[in-house]
Amino acid sequence: MKVALLHNLKPDLAPAGFPKDAFEEYDTEETVSAVAAALSRLPIQVEPLEADRRLPWRLEAGCYDFVFNMAEGRGRRCREAIPAAVCELLGIPFTGSDMLTLAITLDKAAARRLVSPEVPVARAILLEGAPISADLRGLTYPVIVKPNDEGSSKGLRGQPVAHSAAAALARAHWLMETYGCPVLIEEFLEGTEVTVGVAGNHAETRILGLMEIAPVNPQSEWTYSLDAKRDWQRRVRYHVPPRLDASAIEAIEGHALTAYRLLGCRDLARLDFRLDAQGVPHFLECNPIPGLHPTSSDIVILSRSTLSHEDLVQGVFLDAARRWNISLPIPEAV
């Protein structure tokens, strides 16, 4: 079986005219090499393939039997859906969620609407036009102001938390000018932040693990910002399992499985939650193409007590193969 490993490589520097974090979601050579190495231990032939504008022709010319999709795509609101759509157009089976799920989950407001009311979400307002005219009186402050259709904490740098409507609108105006997308203004939740790994499909869907994300130096209104992620070894502490009581963990697991199902996720996803002052977990967002860096990606860290990086990567492929009714001569030890 010939498998294309779809990816987008992160440039060393963002081109002129782009925000400095424009390609934060893209993968490094180290990640691509590690994923390719894990897959190569299965009875398949793996070839890394850049998901650029030549992708349809490259996939067709390569005569691939299957695609391992970790590509982020190019463009705006629906960019993550494009590589999957190309695979569907060409009739090539692929890992991960389909284009509808990939488009919805990148749009935070759309994802919130889809999971609620089954899964709690914080009150929020979506700004799509000129922010100067928005009415934010229905919100309780402080709020967090973030791009509506970005990932990897893009736009969450500097001070994303605002304490007044005027400050929120000023931040929204800057985000719209910088990223060219709608802005979500969401009531800030002061409790613990937890990310959850979910894998599998249908009756075989399972929790991979939960991880609390906390600052090294406790502080009010802390966010898992881009600044914190880029300096995670000094500024962030990961607690697996979270330092929460059993009832809170059970609630988060239940909400994660519900959101995974409602959003139509397949094979693998990472879902983020944050507790409010009363300890109630609220859905923040879902990442159906979570990073797979062998040491620093959140889903790798939260699952490594039970799964090696190789097992995690291979598990995604094997779950997808079963979903497509494709049989492989897999040794029992895999």
Please state, in angstroms and rounded to a whole number, the distance separating the CA atoms of residues 7 and 255. 30
Return the pLDDT at 15.
73
Going along the chain from its start, the domains and CATH numbers come out as 2-101 (3.40.50.20), 123-187 (3.30.1490.20), 190-287 (3.30.470.20)
Least confidently predicted of 81-90, 117-126, 321-330: 321-330
- Across the range 87-115, mean pLDDT stands at 97
Identity (one letter) of the amino acid at 93? P
- How big is the CA angle at 62 (ends 58 and 68), to the nearest 5 degrees? 85
Alpha-helix runs per DSSP H in 273-308 = 298-303
Return the pLDDT at 152.
63
Least confidently predicted of 62-76, 227-241, 262-276, 283-297: 227-241
Question: Nearest CA to 8 among 19, 22, 17?
Answer: 22
Q: Which helix (H) or strand (E) holds 69?
A: strand 66-69
The verdict on pTM exceeding 0.75 is yes
Q: Is 208 helix (H, G, I), strand (E, B) or coil?
A: strand
Identity (one letter) of the amino acid at 46? V
Neighbour order of strands in the sheet with 66-69: 45-50, 2-7, 66-69
Residue-wise pLDDT for 108-165, tens only, equals 999 999 999 999 999 999 998 776 667 888 899 999 999 999 876 777 877 899 999 9
Residue-wise pLDDT for 153-207, tens only, equals 777 877 899 999 999 999 999 999 988 889 999 999 999 999 999 999 999 999 9
Identity (one letter) of the amino acid at 276? D
Question: Nearest CA to 64 among 91, 27, 43?
Answer: 91
Least confidently predicted of 15-19, 141-145, 203-207, 251-255: 15-19
Cβ atoms of 190 and 274 closer than 8 Å: no
Please state, in angstroms and rounded to a whole number, the distance separating the CA atoms of residues 127 and 185. 8
Return the pLDDT at 313.
98
> What is the gyration radius of the CA atoms in the chain, in angstroms?
20
Residue-wise pLDDT for 278-301, tens only, equals 999 999 999 999 999 999 999 999
Query: Which residues are bridge partners to 162 per DSSP?
Result: 143
- How big is the CA angle at 271 (ends 267 and 272), to the nearest 5 degrees? 165
